[in-house]
Amino acid sequence: MTEIILNHRSESAVTEAVIAMMRKAIVVLIILSGATATYAQDKELLIIGTMHDVPAIVSRSYRPLLKFAKKYQPEAIYVEDICPDDTLSLKNFTPRLLSMADSLLRTEGIDEERFMKLKKKSLSELESADYAFLSNTYLKKRDRANYVYYNYLKTYGMAGSKKALRNENGDLIFPLAIARGITELIPVDDHKTEKEYQRAWSNTVKAGKATGDDQILAKLLKQDQHKRIWPSLWGKLGKYTNKAETLHRYYLINSCRYVTHQNEPSSVARQLWDDRNRRIADNLSKHMKASPYHKNILIIGAGHVVSLKNILQQVYPELKVKLMSEK
């Protein structure tokens, strides 16, 4: 039998080699963990609050917001539309679209092969017939955000509408997506308790007549009405809407936090509002954590902005959240 005997010098050399290898492994792990942390912390989200539809007299109100959003150069656009797999919210908020989608799916089905093939193409490579196909397919998939987006492209092409359409889709979201070459919008909204919230909010206003809280609400609404006059005349309603003071006012109104005499309707309305925004934040964080994109933008009704920023700081602390009003 051959016996292998290591002398003292050999043992020392092996030990040193093992230690050297361990040191290298530790350095590699530190670098990788640092890179992963940097990657996670590097993600940011710009939230822009909208006015939804605007009257004809202020039809150009979205221009400053579009300019600001283009300058930010987002890689992904999140929008206030219901997630396609959220059947309850679709039933509550867009029952007609749900009925149309399911009816079309039963009668026509989906050409998944063509759909996936077109999804790989850039917007400039697509033709009008492709826009029509994608719009119809997204409808069958219950994806209102992209159904409307490709319908816009089918109607106006990549040049977009020459006249203001007076809503956030036609004047902000779609022109921004086209300018950035984004082929798919990401819906994150939730309307599971929309009816209950509207009922509680209305009952809060009624209850406020006995406590004087209705006067607080009236004052907040009057302040907003007066302060938006000059910005509206100068085409800066969008900028006014995203001022910190304005966003806070909308937050108080929508969440019923203006109420000084708490009652059941106001407590219910507040809870339902907070819960909805928490579900939106969860949808956002789920998508963003799985996404490779660093610069993201959420375009949503201005009343949500303060709530969402607060909640995102709790559920996704490593995400850098920015607002228009913050320099």
Helix (H) or strand (E) holding 76: strand 76-82
- pTM for the full model? 0.87
Q: Which residues contact 170 (CB under 8 A, 6 or more apart)?
A: 152, 161, 164
Residues in the chain: 327
Class of residue 120 by CB neighbours under 10 A (exposed 0-12, middle 13-18, buried 19+)? exposed
Question: Using one digit for the tens of pLDDT, what is the confidence trace for 166-186?
Answer: 999 999 999 999 999 999 999
Residue 223 near residue 236, CB atoms below 8 Å: no
252-276 pLDDT, tens digit each: 999 999 999 999 999 999 999 999 9
Predicted confidence at residue 280, as pLDDT, reads 98
**Averaged confidence pLDDT in the chain:** 91
Tens digits of per-residue pLDDT, 19-70?
A: 555 565 554 444 444 444 444 458 999 999 999 999 999 999 999 999 999 9
Kindly tell me the burial class for residue 55, based on how many C-beta atoms sit within 10 Å of its own C-beta (0-12, 13-18, 19 or more). Answer: exposed
With a cut of 50, say whether residue 13 has pLDDT above it: no
In the prediction, which pLDDT does 4 show? 36
**pLDDT tens figures, 217-240:** 999 999 999 999 999 999 999 999
The residue assigned the tokens 């929309």 is 194
pLDDT classification of 16: cutoffs 50, 70, 90: low
Q: Compute CA distances 224 → 178, 219, 249, 327, whole Å.
A: 33, 9, 8, 23
Q: Is 161 strand, coil or helix?
A: coil
Q: What is the mean pLDDT of residues 155-164?
A: 97
